[in-house]
Chains A and B, each alone.
Chain A
Amino acid sequence: MSNDQRQAWFARVMESGLENDIFAPSDVLAHATPDVLASHLPPELLSKVLSASLAAGSMTPERVLETVTPDLLAKHLPHEVLWQCIAAAAARAGVNKTVGS
């Protein structure tokens, strides 16, 4: 599999997880911490996140993910981080007893 395919798949999984309430934006940011975001998101994207938050007056996980979409998450963040989020959600749903470490 190519990196593009893998990236597209993780993006789709993250999108589906959010759409189906498998995990919430807060769950995503629990793994994609500010440190992770700051380390991996490009400057222009960090700028957008900050601008949107400044315009809204607050920075919430939902607003962050409005800017940093699943596609961008899969593009910039380590897939390991995304997978931890997915696996943790599966564990909460009761289908995964061993949360991926």
Chain B
Amino acid sequence: MHRRRGCTRGGEQDGGLVNLKAFFVATLSSALDLGIAVPEDVIRHVTPDVLAAHLPRPLWARLLTACVGAPRVDAQLVVETIGVPNLCEHVPAQIIWNCIQELGQRSLAGVVMAAPAAVPSSRPHTMPTSSVSRPIPLATPPPPPAAEPRAAAHPPAAVGPSIPLPGAAGDAEVDGSGRPRMQPSQRFRPSSTGIGRLATPPSNARRPQAQATPSATPTVGDAAPAAPRVKRGQTEADFDLETYVGGKDDWKNALAVEDEQLVDWSATDETVTNGDEIGRKR
């Protein structure tokens, strides 16, 4: 006992162990980097009890912080969080050496010696675990990217609502196939708002009737004549309105008067005369 203590402690105090720790760090780090060892190999020797006994509290705090925030706690997280230099610094050299010795014997067993019974079992056991443990931290990042596209998916949805606005405009256009006629007809209406009493009920009835008449009138006025025929159509529509509404003769008379008034507003005699003639002809 005494000798052992003298030997080991003497070795530690010699400063020889300072180099020994650096040697351990290089050996363990390279083993982990080269895939000779996996973090599980380290934790098998540097157990939680060992860490509890030898790891300083600040390092424990760091380890606990990392474990709390990690999606999964495994040997890799522990080893990476503490760091090989800290492990070799605080964990007794004998334990670190036991770990390195296992790695060395296992490595030799793979090359030269016949593998001990326990060795091959540890290899396949550790290898898959390493493969499992490594991807995991890598797998955690993907979720955020998955969230990004979702976030990106929202903007289009937000854009979508803006689309309906043009869509509504499109609806207006669709309706507008009849509406351009209606807008000018609105010009009449205010003028004929004197007739406005009729405006509301007939307005609903006007559109279908106005469409019905153009279909009969054929598509002649569909494309080009839209603007000019607006006037004609307006007169026609008004005339239809008269007919529709005008089951009553009074309204026909009233409409005829309004056309004359329209002639006054446009200040064009031709339209007035044409509108009257057309309207009356049709």
Q: Interface residues, chain A, CB within 8 Å of chain B? A: 1-3, 5-6, 8-10, 12-13, 15-17, 19-22, 78-80, 83, 86-87, 90, 93-96, 100
Complexed CA–CA distance, A78 and B31 (Å): 18
B19 part of interface (Cβ distance < 8 Å): yes
Complexed CA–CA distance, A5 and B7 (Å): 34
Chain A's interface: helix, strand, loop or mixed, by majority? helix
Among B34, B35, B105, B112, the most chain A Cβ lie within 10 Å of the Cβ of: B34
Complexed CA–CA distance, A35 and B7 (Å): 33
CB of B27 within 8 A of CB of A12, answer yes
A-B CB contact pairs (8 Å), 28 listed:
A1-B34, A1-B35, A1-B107, A5-B35, A6-B36, A6-B110, A8-B30, A9-B107, A13-B30, A15-B26, A16-B27, A16-B30, A19-B26, A21-B19, A80-B113, A83-B107, A87-B104, A90-B101, A93-B11, A93-B20, A93-B93, A94-B7, A94-B11, A95-B20, A95-B96, A95-B97, A96-B101, A100-B101
CB of A5 within 8 A of CB of B36, answer yes
B22 part of interface (Cβ distance < 8 Å): yes
Complexed CA–CA distance, A84 and B31 (Å): 18
Complexed CA–CA distance, A10 and B111 (Å): 12
Query: How many residue-residue contacts, CB under 8 A, span A and B?
Result: 95
B20, closest chain A residue (CB): A93
B219 part of interface (Cβ distance < 8 Å): no
Complexed CA–CA distance, A6 and B26 (Å): 14
Instruction: Report if A94-B8 is in contact (Cβ < 8 Å); known contacts: A79-B112, A86-B104, A87-B104.
Output: yes
Complexed CA–CA distance, A96 and B111 (Å): 22
CB of A17 within 8 A of CB of B23, answer yes
Complexed CA–CA distance, A93 and B34 (Å): 26
B19 CB contact (under 8 Å) in A22, A78, A79, A94: A22
Q: Which residues of B contact A90 (CB under 8 A)?
A: 97, 100-101
B-side interface size class? 20 to 34
B208 part of interface (Cβ distance < 8 Å): no
Complexed CA–CA distance, A2 and B17 (Å): 31
Complexed CA–CA distance, A18 and B186 (Å): 101
Chain A proximity of B115: nearest CB distance (Å):
13
B23 CB contact (under 8 Å) in A16, A83, A96: A16
CB of B35 within 8 A of CB of A13, answer no
A95, closest chain B residue (CB): B97
B131 part of interface (Cβ distance < 8 Å): no
B69 part of interface (Cβ distance < 8 Å): no
B113, closest chain A residue (CB): A80
Among B23, B26, B36, B105, the most chain A Cβ lie within 10 Å of the Cβ of: B23
Among A1, A17, A22, A78, the most chain B Cβ lie within 10 Å of the Cβ of: A1
